[in-house]
A = this chain, B = another copy of it.
Amino acid sequence: MQFHIDKINKLLDDFDEATLKALEEISYSKTYEKGSYLLKADNICTKSFFLKSGILRKFYLHNEKDVTTEFYFKGDLAVSFDSYTLQRPSKEYLQALTDVTVNTIEFNSFQNLKKKHLQLQELDFLITEYHALWLEEKVFELHTQNATQRYETLIKKSPHIVHQIPLTQIASYLNVSLETLSRIRAKK
């Protein structure tokens, strides 16, 4: 996985002046207050959010409970993937867990820019590949690990999550009840 991140960073380092400038021209900075929504269900995800500071979470509602699908930190790129890709209504919400500053790029602007800048096509491709690899790992973990193991994997991969985010949301991210997660932690 790290290998793939390096690939993306290398591409970014090699970006043409022109490409960089064009990207800057279509992106704009925005801040959101803690608790507010960058995207709500039933709306189309027409923007991508590059997180400059703060924490985001993505979730959907299922049987009146929320299921957290991702946390985003500084440097992460947040979208509701299927809504963004297919430009259809989202099942997911994007919410600010803290005050947040993002660089925003409109889907349409980016698509237009891609036509002129081959490096952006490459970038988009690598990011999509990365997302798919990430999802494969997630499915693998859901298939092979129990609640305790999933929690341990999370700690190993993203120790910062455990320190900055309420247990309730971590539990829903791990697909475990709050109580079970609490017990898992008590055992150590």
Contacts and interface: CB of A to CB of B under 8 A. Distances in A.
A107 B143 CA distance: 28
A86 interface: yes
Determine how many copies of this chain the complex contains.
Answer: 2
A126 B11 CA distance: 20
A155 to B, nearest CB: 20
A68 to B, nearest CB: 10
Contacts of A88: 3
A133 B82 contact: yes
Interface in A62-114: 62, 67, 69, 81-82, 85-86, 88
Given A3-B88, A81-B132, A143-B175, 6 more contacts: A62-B143, A82-B136, A85-B129, A85-B133, A132-B132, A135-B135
3 tightest CB-CB pairs across the interface, nearest first?
A: A135-B135, A132-B132, A142-B142
30 contacts: A3-B86, A3-B88, A4-B85, A4-B86, A62-B143, A67-B144, A69-B139, A81-B132, A81-B136, A82-B136, A85-B129, A85-B132, A121-B121, A121-B125, A124-B125, A125-B125, A128-B128, A128-B129, A128-B132, A131-B132, A132-B132, A132-B135, A135-B135, A135-B139, A138-B139, A139-B139, A139-B142, A142-B142, A142-B143, A142-B175
